[in-house]
Structure 1
Amino acid sequence: MSTDLELWSRAAGGSGEAFGALFDKYARDVYNHCFRRTADWSAAEDLTSVVFLEAWRRRGEVRIDRESALPWLLGVANNVLRNRHRSLRRHRAALDRL
């Protein structure tokens, strides 16, 4: 069994298999975090996808320095959640102006 550091290093090198292993390991945790913050299973699924898309996109830039990638993934989730909240707030404000 590979460690998160090894998996992340391989994923940063382009290994979809290693990234998939991280996804399999942490997708449920990220989903549960998003669901607790939104109380919407559909939004939590979408946000989980965005978190892992962002992780894949940034895999070459980010260095995981802990034994677990989960804290970083949850940090990405928090940023994605904040962006969603801002977007919804702007959308509501725009509708109110109409």
Structure 2
Amino acid sequence: MREKSPHILNASSNLLGFCLLIITSLKITNTDKSTYLDEFVGIAALLFTMSCIFSFLAIRSENEKYKIKYESFADFLFLGALICIFLAIGMLFIKLFH
């Protein structure tokens, strides 16, 4: 089985930075109060952070059983964060084009 943990760690950390950039932009422009966009992105940032932690644990784990569990959990959290980003983008498009 090919290890996915390094890829999950790389993608999660990059997308975490993207989420923090969005949250900062919303706070600076004071548009965080008019939408739920910052809440969705905040949840995504939390999930990406947890995904980073579990993928790191999977990389560092010597026990194969724990490695598989950590990697599966990191993968699941990563998918949840992507769904939050998808919902945030959907809200943004609805707000822009409605």
TM-score normalised to structure 2 length: 0.41
Give 1 or 2: higher helix fraction. Answer: 2
TM-score normalised to structure 1 length: 0.41
